[in-house]
Amino acid sequence: MLTHNADADTAYGARRSLHAAITSYLVAHRLGWDAGPLERVFKVALTMNLSMLELQGELARQRTAPTAAQRADLMTHPMRSVELLMQAGIDDDDWLQAVARHHEQEDGSGYPTGRSDVGELASLVRRADVYTSKLSSRSHREALSADQAGRQMFMQDPGHPMTAALVKEFGIYPPGCYVRLASGETGVVVQRGPTVTTPIVACLTNPRGAALPAPVRMDTSITRHQVQCVIGESSVNHKLTLDKLISTLS
């Protein structure tokens, strides 16, 4: 696993990369990309931040602005990640180019070179990274709910088909977000449901807030169990193991 034997900061960065990779793959699939680009966009997102995994964790927990040294590392990490991939024997030019350009923007306002010829791989990965960062909590702010993140993406990037596909793919309640149901239970979304407003939820507490011995699968298309609101992860004081969560999947 990416986080095996990693310190907390590096593990945070690895999780962020994994989230961006899964997001990129799903959105590319929705856009109708072929098998080759689908596989490559996952690899790009998974490896784009190899050179700054620990720094991502540091920045997530610190409450002050980045230092001059941290800003320098941020600005140079795309090329440093490319160097690490090349040292590992990666010679796929499209993969390496997308990693180098994953912070560039079509209007030339990105970094590290301010170029405008970004390419589809880097363009999609950047948007997936921005979106998943909005869904990640940090020491100075709670994670945004998916609907808030989606609205922000549309405002920042109006009309772009990649952004539209991203928001359609994840909807209002993406897997992994915590919710409270009308019946009082709290839980985590584990699957998309029949509509964007009716996800499948693994309930973690009963209506009185007491932790359940094991997650209980709940169909929120049933009126009394419909999603009432999104809540922050910090609001759910319940440890969730992967094996118990998997047991709720059909």
Model confidence pLDDT, tens digit, residues 100-152: 999 999 999 999 999 999 999 999 999 999 998 887 766 566 777 777 888 88
pLDDT band of residue 245 (cuts 50, 70, 90) is: low
Distance CA 196, CA 174 (A): 9
For residues 209 and 42, the model is more confident at 42
Count of C-beta atoms within a 10 Å radius of residue 148:
14
User: Domain map of the chain by residue range?
Assistant: 8-170, 178-246
The structure's pTM equals 0.76
* Domain range 8-170, CATH class: mainly alpha
Count of C-beta atoms within a 10 Å radius of residue 165:
19
Model confidence pLDDT, tens digit, residues 158-189: 889 999 999 888 877 877 788 899 999 998 88
Contact yes or no for 82/37 (Cβ under 8 A): no
**In this predicted structure, what is the pLDDT of residue 235?**
67
Residue 127 one-letter amino acid: R
**In this predicted structure, what is the pLDDT of residue 98?**
98
**In this predicted structure, what is the pLDDT of residue 75?**
95
| Cα separations in angstroms, 181 against 35, 94, 172, 244, 245 | 38, 45, 14, 20, 18
Distance CA 233, CA 183 (A): 19
**Three-state helix/strand/coil letters over 13-67:** HHHHHHHHHHHHHHHHHHCCCCHHHHHHHHHHHHHCCHHHHHHHHHHHHCCCCCC
Question: What end-to-end distance do the CA atoms of the chain give, in Å?
Answer: 24
* Closest to 187 (Cα-Cα) out of 221, 227, 158: 227
Task: Tell me the average pLDDT across 42-57.
Answer: 94
pLDDT band of residue 5 (cuts 50, 70, 90) is: very low
pLDDT of residue 234 exceeding 80, the answer is no
* Closest to 100 (Cα-Cα) out of 89, 86, 109: 86
Residue showing tokens 């993140």: 149
Distance CA 107, CA 240 (A): 43
Helix, strand, coil shares, percent, the chain, to 5: 50, 15, 40
